[in-house]
Amino acid sequence: MSKQPKQLAEEDLHGYVDGRLDAARRAEVEAWLLNNQADAARVAAYRQQNEMMQALFNPVLNEPIPLQMHPQARHRSYAQPMRYAAMVGGMVLSGILGWSLHGAETNKQPAVLAMVNRAALAHVVYTPEVLHPVEVGKEQEEQLTKWLSKRLGNNIKAPHLTSAGYELMGGRLLPGNQGPVAQFMYQDARGLRLTLYISSKMAGKGEASFRYAQEGKVGVFYWVDEDLGYALSGELAKADLLRVANAVYQGLNQ
Amino acid sequence: MDSMNLIITEQIPRLRRYARALTGDRTSADDLVQDTLERAWSKLHMWRRGSDMRAWMFSIMHNTFINHIRKNRLDTVSIDEDALEVPTRSTQEDFLQMRDLSSAIGKLAYEYREVILLIGLEQMSYDEVAKVLGIPLGTVMSRLSRGREKLRTIMAGESAPVLRRVK
């Protein structure tokens, strides 16, 4: 029999709980615990504490990162923390981010330009999502469009873009400048994602032609039809994006 | 800049997990994370490339947490005030032990809470915790020992209401 120490060092007990002892020390602690019920009970309780902490809080690791913590939203916003924006009626991002538009008609239709800006931001925020790219998937397309139509107070359709090589993934509801807006996401065979952002209450007549804006790496084709504003965003060549925009327009007007 | 984005973003889920356990509620936790990120960005020039980003971010969070406590933005007790802290109320609904754990952690002085969580939840080594919190290793060990025992007492008290009434 190996000689038993008179007392177990407190730090060895914790080192044992946390799995930080070498084999020899571990064996000593185990031998001690066999004959010391009170310490064995402590070890069991402390281990359970660790396990329960993990079980209780590990799910936080899989929660989507809030919009305002996202680097794309962050590094243009040193001046003012994003959460203040979030507090002012649903994330008034555009002003703070100061994303500049390179379109020709910067001073026209501020509501439309604000929409383009927000569409591009929503694109960069949600397209990289692995676990939660969309809120409602395409398998519930009918409920999705019904729900979005109700919230936007308009007949909202998710155009099918299979002919252009893109499949619908699903969509989500987002806060817009003037109430709720919809975002549909599409993906091609290589995994490249496009988003279609739809905003109601645009009240802009005679804008039915496509316009183009470049927001960083994201290209956006946008137009207003009746009182709905549309913005198609993607990180691809302008000509390719235009081809898809045409498919969207056709899909919507079928 | 993009690689720095990535290297900081990688830490966000862990910071949020720790903050949630530390503050006990989602809003305060995300508030704490947000302030931590702001600070990290503004001090980024002080971070030595190649050194441990997790430790760096967690020590910024520790300082931010202390600041929040000082400004009374967080409701918490310190070791100095908790001498009489005992397990209290235990209602019929408190059977879910997991929920008890969260509320029990909330009853610990924050100095204990930090050490217990960094070790048990974040699984840092004792040395790392000493560095992150800026305290000697011996202090880490004594806080770990007392904190765990207090937590055990609180948990035992809450799940054994009958025994407590005898007192």
Question: Structural domains in chain B?
Answer: 1-75 (1.10.1740.10), 76-167 (1.10.10.10)
Residue A224 lies in a domain: yes
Rounded to an integer, the average pLDDT of B25-30 is: 90
Q: Assess whether A40 and A118 both reside in one domain.
A: no
Question: Which range of residues forms the domain containing residue A169?
Answer: 101-252
Among A165-174, A187-196, B93-102, the minimum mean pLDDT is found in: B93-102
Q: Which residue has the tokens 């379109």?
A: A103
Chain B partners within 8 Å of A46 (Cβ): 148, 152
Q: In the predicted model, is pLDDT for residue A140 greater than 80?
A: yes
Which residues of chain A make contact with B116, given a CB cutoff of 8 A?
49
pLDDT of A98 > 60? The answer is: no
Q: How far is CA A254 from CA A4, B2, B101, in A?
A: 85, 42, 57
Local confidence band at A91 (pLDDT 50, 70, 90 cut-offs): very low
Task: With respect to residue A84, please indicate whether it lies within any of the assigned structural domains.
Answer: no
Please, which pLDDT band fits residue A232 given cuts at 50, 70 and 90?
A: very high
Q: Where is average pLDDT lowest: A67-76, A218-227, B75-84?
A: B75-84
Computed from CA positions of residues A118, A93, A173, B10, in that sequence, does the dihedral angle turn out positive or negative? Answer: positive
Pair of tokens at residue B73: 């933005």
- What is residue A74's three-state secondary structure? helix
Is pLDDT of A57 > 80? yes
Interface membership of A80 toward B (CB under 8 Å): no
Same domain? For A235 and A119 the reply is yes
Contact B148 A46 (CB under 8 A): yes
Instruction: State whether residue B18 is helix, strand or coil.
Output: helix
Q: What is the pLDDT of residues A171-214, one digit of tens each?
A: 999 888 778 899 999 999 888 999 999 998 776 555 567 888 88
Q: With 90 as the cut, is the pLDDT of residue A126 above it? A: no
- A86 found inside a domain: no
Contact B120/A61, CB-based, under 8 Å?
Answer: no
Answer yes or no: is pLDDT of A157 > 50.
Answer: yes
Q: Is the pLDDT of residue A10 over 80?
A: yes
Out of A110-124, A159-173, A197-211, B134-148, pick the least confident: A197-211
pLDDT reading at B7 higher than 60? yes
Nearest to B17 among A10, A18, A58 (CB): A58
Range of weakest confidence among A24-28, A34-38, B69-73: B69-73
Q: Which residue has the tokens 């498919």?
A: A247
Mean pLDDT, range A232-251, rounded to an integer:
91
Assigned domain for A52 exists? yes
| Cα separation, A127 vs B33, whole angstroms | 23
For chain A, the domain total comes to 2
**Quick check: B17 and A60 CB within 8 A?**
yes
C-alpha–C-alpha distance, residues B112 and B135, integer Å: 13
How far is it, in rounded angstroms, from Cα A239 to Cα A7?
78
Q: With a cut of 0.85, is the ipTM above it?
A: no
pTM, 2 dp: 0.54
pLDDT of residue A99: 32
Burial, A175: exposed, middle or buried (Cβ in 10 Å; 0-12, 13-18, 19+)? middle
What is the predicted pLDDT for the residue at B73?
Answer: 66
| Mean pLDDT calculated for residue range B91-112 | 72
Closest to A157 in 3D by CA, of A139, A174, A140, A144: A144
Residue B89 has pLDDT above 50, yes or no: no
Residue A79 pLDDT exceeds 90: no
- What pLDDT score was predicted for residue A181? 93
pLDDT of residue B91: 41
Strands (E), chain A: 136-137, 167-176, 179-187, 193-199, 211-215, 218-225, 228-234
Mutate to test the interface with A, among B118, B119, B127, B159 (most CBs of A within 10 A): B119
Report yes or no: A27 at the B interface, CB cutoff 8 Å. Answer: no
- Give the number of other CB atoms < 10 A from CB of residue A136: 16
Residues A138 and A216 in one domain: yes
Do A57 and A129 share a domain, yes or no?
no
Amino acid A209: pLDDT: 78
pLDDT at residue A17 is higher than 60: yes
A56, A68, A131: best to mutate for the B interface, most B CBs within 10 A: A56
- In the predicted structure, residue A164 carries a pLDDT above the cut 50: yes
Task: Extract the tokens encoding B12.
Answer: 């966000």
pLDDT of A55 above 80:
yes
Within-domain flag for A80: no
pLDDT greater than 90 at residue B14: yes
List CB contacts (< 8 A) between A18 and chain B.
Answer: 119-120, 123
Integer Cα distance of A236 and A244 in angstroms: 11
CB contact under 8 A, B21 and A53: yes
- A41 to chain B: nearest residue by CA? B152
Higher per-residue confidence, A254 vs B116: B116
List, edge to edge, every strand of the sheet that includes A136-137: A136-137, A167-176, A179-187, A193-199, A228-234, A218-225, A211-215
- Same-domain pairing of A124 and A244: yes
Return d(Cα B146, Cα B149) in angstroms, integer. 5
**Which residue, A68, A88, A128, is CA-closest to B37?**
A68
The answer to whether residues A32 and A114 belong to one domain is no
Q: What are phi and psi of A187, to 5 degrees?
A: -145, 140
Give me the mean pLDDT over the A150-156 stretch.
Answer: 91
Query: Does B141 contact A54 at a Cβ distance shorter than 8 Å?
Result: no
Nearest CA in chain B to A82: B34
Residues 6+ apart with CB under 8 A from B159: B90, B94, B95, B97, B100
Closest CA to A89 of A182, A198, A180: A180
Q: Are residues A54 and A141 in the same domain?
A: no
> A163 pLDDT exceeds 60?
yes
A79 contacts chain B (CB < 8 A): no
Average pLDDT of span B25-39: 91
Residue from A163, A227, A169 nearest A196 by CA: A169
Report residue A113's pLDDT band, with 50, 70 and 90 as the boundaries. confident
CA closest to B6 among chain A residues: A71
On chain B, the residues whose CB falls within 8 A of the CB of A43 are none
